[in-house]
Structure 1
Amino acid sequence: MKPKILIVDDEKDLRDLISYFLTRANYEVDLAENGCIGFEKVQTWKPHLVISDIRMPVCDGFELLKKISNVPNNDTPVMFISGYVGGDEEELRKNPHCVGFIPKPVNKIELLEMVKQALPA
């Protein structure tokens, strides 16, 4: 069974690029354009990993992480991708579901290595 990865980002081009990299690396991928849609997919599709932007309209990465954390017996890891690395990182890092940060612009080799490390064994 292929590992399932959910990509949550309001930038369609970035979602498509990450999806392309991961699909070519033999992962099953689904997409969401904001954290609210992403959370619905976490509950129904049950991904092994969520890769989410931090700053998005409607429902951002903070809200998505909070919703995932509030579900009993849910241990879905979340990795954040953002061009705004800095102060936000510390708050997100405190959450046990947060497993790392991918800086923008996305580097394919770095992305694939971080995903491999973040997926549950």
Structure 2
Amino acid sequence: MSFKILVVDDEKDLRDLICYFLKRENFTVETAENGKDAFNKIKEGRPDLVISDIRMPDWDGFELLSNVSRLENQFVPVLFISGYVGGDEAELKKNPHCMGFISKPISKTKLIEIVKEAQAKQTISPLNWQPDHE
């Protein structure tokens, strides 16, 4: 069974770069340009992990995480990638769906390490998976 990742970012070049890194590691990758589009894709076919920017038009990361949290019978972990550091991360970390942050510019090594960690945890216990990575 493949590990399905949804990459959400309004910057096409960064979205494409993240997808390239993930596909080289044989992950199944889908993309969205904003939180609203991402949420619709999550409802259609639940990804195993969402990697999302925070600051985007048409639902930012806060709105996306809030709506993901309301989904019944689904736990969808969200990893945030952002160049924006403004103290709002503390609010996002309170949500159990938030598995942490990677700052821009992204490190391929760090990204792959965190994704593989999320994959391993979900393989062991997909329904009770809880993040411990920050």
Superposition TM-score, scaled by structure 2 size: 0.87
CA-CA distance at 1:102 after TM superposition? 1.0
1:98 equivalent in structure 2: 98
What residue ranges of structure 2 are gaps of 5+ in the alignment? 124-134
Aligned residues: 121
Q: How does 1:1-121 map to 2 (within 5 A)?
A: 1-119=1-119, 120-121=122-123
The one-letter code sitting in structure 2 at the alignment partner of 1:107 is S
CA-CA distance at 1:118 after TM superposition? 2.2
What's the C-alpha RMSD, in Å, of the aligned pairs?
0.9
What residue ranges of structure 1 are gaps of 5+ in the alignment? none
The one-letter code sitting in structure 1 at the alignment partner of 2:24 is R
CA distance in 2, matches of 1:84, 1:117: 24
CA distance in 1, matches of 2:85, 2:113: 19
4+ residue stretches of structure 1 with deviation over 6 A?
none
CA distance in 1, matches of 2:74, 2:64: 13
The one-letter code sitting in structure 2 at the alignment partner of 1:88 is D
CA distance in 2, matches of 1:51, 1:23: 14
| Counterpart secondary structure, 1:113 | helix
Superposition TM-score, scaled by structure 1 size: 0.97
The one-letter code sitting in structure 1 at the alignment partner of 2:22 is L
TM-aligned CA distance change 1:21 to 1:46, over 3 Å: same
The one-letter code sitting in structure 2 at the alignment partner of 1:33 is E
% same residue = 62
| Counterpart secondary structure, 2:7 | strand
| Counterpart secondary structure, 1:71 | coil
Deviation string 1:6-35 (CA, Å, 9 cap, x unpaired) is 001000000000000000001000000000
Deviation string 1:72-117 (CA, Å, 9 cap, x unpaired) is 1110100000011340110000000000101100111010001111
